[in-house]
Amino acid sequence: MSALDPNEFRNALGSFATGVTVITSFDEDDNPVGVTVSSFNSVSLDPPLVLWSLAKNALSLPAFEKAGHFCVHVLSAAQQDVSNKFASKGSDKFEGIAWARGIGGLPLLPKYAAQFQCKTTYQYEGGDHIIFVGEVIEYDRADEAPLVFHSGKYALAKTQDGDKQAGHGVDENAGTFSNEFLLYLLSRAHYQATYKLQADLRKAGLTRDEYLALTLFGMGGALSFQELHDRMEHTGHWPTNSMVRSLQERSLISETIDGSKFALTVRGRDLYISQLAHSKAIEEELLADFSPTEVADVRDFLQRFIAKSDPGVPELWLNA
């Protein structure tokens, strides 16, 4: 058998998606130690045993060999920074982390998707690694999506409903049209996300067209009527002379000194900022149940979707 190419072998192993854990213990001076590990796995339910492995050249290996206990923290999708921190070398990995003591003095991280405090029961040599087997003494879990590592990159674990995998589970009321038609989903998401905003605009005495115009002035600065028209046109909203006059009469916008453009007044800027703040509050409320990774994935998808579907419309907010 020919010798394996280490890089190709590593890439092949990377095709297997794994969770990401931080495993902690303490050294002979009772200082906390921790490493990022993806080799964690279950061994047995009865007795409850788990295992993981650590490279023989790891600086923290002596601590884990002598401590007699270790704690496995399965990281959540929001903890990429924690994974990176404990994967680094030569720094205080616990700096800025409000860790606590657990069984046998184990250092425990405050956040995780799951946590297993273990007593080391076996240690085996496994090539260039030491394999640790531990008996789970205490465990806990949080309702958080786990952090996943695949092909050398972080990934998002997404569960799939078994019925839907088999072709079942379609919402009879919604029908396959609403489930599968992306443009419908985008339109409905936009409508529902801005529903509260529409009510807020009515209280402020603003139409949707007027709010969009104020937003464009707020983000883009002074604009001529034609510039305002060009940026609003593809949204399905258009400025009219009567709308501009109405905004002027309410002292929300005024003409620039040379009379060629319009800009927000102090009152107009205050109203624009208050509505913008409320919009952001609505956004935060809607995103509260989604992980940072999910939000980042949606933003990335929408940005690429916008670029792909762009027929050449101008940017709404050139200075944003």
Question: pLDDT tens digits, residue range 161-213?
Answer: 555 444 444 344 444 445 567 787 888 888 888 887 888 888 888 888 888 88
Cα separation, 88 vs 180, in Å, equals: 43
Average pLDDT on 16-40 reads 91
pLDDT beyond 90 at 32: yes
Class of domain 177-309: mainly alpha
- 297 pLDDT band, cuts 50/70/90, is confident
More confident residue, 294 or 60: 60
Domain boundaries, the chain: 9-156, 177-309
Average pLDDT on 115-124 reads 93
Average pLDDT on 269-281 reads 78
pLDDT of residue 131: 92
More confident residue, 170 or 125: 125
pLDDT beyond 50 at 289: yes
Chain segment 91-104, per-residue pLDDT in tens: 789 988 999 999 99
Class of domain 9-156: mainly beta
Contacts of 146 (CB under 8 A, 6+ apart): 19, 20, 74, 75, 76, 77, 113, 114, 157
Alpha carbon 54 to its chain centroid, in Å, reads 29
pLDDT of residue 158: 65
pLDDT of residue 313: 59
Average pLDDT on 83-87 reads 92
SS (H, E, C) 120-186: EEEEEEECCEEEEEEEEEEEEECCCCEEEEECCEEEECCCCCHHHHCCCCCCCCCHHHHHHCHHHHH
